[in-house]
Chain A
Amino acid sequence: MPTRNITPVQQVWNYLNASESAQWAIVCNCAEIRLYSRQKSSNHVHRVLLTELDDPDRFTEFYAIFHANSLLGTGMFAQNTGWLLRVGANKGDVLNCRGKMTSLRGRRFAWIVQLTKGIANVPFRRQQIMARIEPETKNQV
C-alpha cells in the first residue's frame, strides 16, 4: 500500500478499507483529531481541535466519543459512538424527509396562489397541460 503522495486522511482510509473488522479511523496531527466511520464517506468527519480540550464542556464531549469503551462498544456505555451514528442516521433521514415534505408543501402552495391569480401567471408549459386536461374533464362530466 503506497503511502507517498497521499494525504494522511487517505492513508488512514486505506488502512480502514484493508481491514475487514475495522469500523472507525482516527487521524491526528497533535493539533486536531478526526474520526471517520466506515459506514459513511470520507466527507463525514467528527473533528476536535485539541487546543479546545482545556474547556471542560468540550472535553466531556470528546471523552464520551473517543473513550475506548465508547468506540469499541464495550463496558457499560449503552449510548456509545456506534449508537450516535445509528440514531443520527435515522434522525437525519427523518429530518431530511421532513425538509423535503416542507419544500413540496411550499411549492404546492405557491402553485395554488399562482392559479388563484389567474392562468396568465402560470408558465406556458403548464398552460398547455391544463388546456389539454380541461376538455377531457368537460367530456367526462
Chain B
Amino acid sequence: MAKKPSPEKPAPSSLLPGFQHLIPSAAAAPLATHNRPLFLPDLVQQIAHNKQIDASRREQVHPAFRKWAKDLKQGVLQQLHETQVEQDFNHVLLRGLGTTQSDVASDQPWTLPPKWNVPGSGEVEVEVDAALGKFRLDESGWLSGEPLVMVEIKGAKVDLDR
C-alpha cells in the first residue's frame, strides 16, 4: 500500500521574521530524548477526574487560561517584556490556580509571597520569581514560612533548555 504523504509544514526559520509565532509550537521546542514523564499517564487521568476538585471553580478560571492560549497563538505574549509576563503569570494564572497573596485576612497564612530569597553562593541571596508555600508575618513583622515550590518565569522567546 502506498504511504500517505504527510502534510508539509514550513520550518519556522523559513518564515518571515516576526511571523514565527503563527506556528503554535514554534516557542515550545520538542523535549530532548533523555527526558521521561514525571507521572504515569493513567494516574494523571485518575487525578484529573478526582471528585474532590471543585469543578465549578475550575470552569470559572478556565477563561483566563483560554485567553492566555489565544494571546500566545496570536503572538501577543511574544511582544511583552519578561517583567510584564511575570506579573500576568502571578496575578492571573497562579491566582487562578488557588494561590493566595498577602491581601488575605491578616490572621490567615498565604501561599504566594511577592518575592522570596534563596541562599546563593557566598553571602549573596537570589530572588526567585515566585515561591509557593505557607507564609505569614511573624511577631516582629518579618515574612516567614517554608517554600514548597520554586517558580521561574521567562519570556516567551526564551528556550528553557538553552
- Name the one of A8, A23, A44 contacting B154, with C-beta atoms under 8 angstroms: A8
Known contacts A50-B68, A71-B132; decide if A84 and B43 are in contact (CB<8 Å).
Answer: yes
Known contacts A37-B38, A45-B38, A84-B39; decide if A24 and B97 are in contact (CB<8 Å).
Answer: no
A7 close to B161 (CB less than 8 A): yes
Cβ-based interface call for A108 (8 A): no
Cβ-based interface call for B149 (8 A): yes
Q: Nearest chain-A residue to B89 (Cβ)? A: A28
Number of residue pairs spanning A and B whose beta carbons lie under 8 angstroms apart: 218
Cβ-based interface call for A83 (8 A): yes
Question: How many B residues are at the interface, by size bracket?
Answer: 35 or more
Q: Nearest chain-B residue to A2 (Cβ)? A: B121
A40 close to B97 (CB less than 8 A): no
B58 close to A63 (CB less than 8 A): yes
What's the least CB distance linking B25 to chain A, in Å? 7
Give a binary string over B102-138; 1 marks a CB under 8 Å from any A CB, 0 the rest. 0000000001100000111100101010011110000
B77 close to A64 (CB less than 8 A): no
Known contacts A66-B97, A91-B40; decide if A77 and B53 are in contact (CB<8 Å).
Answer: yes
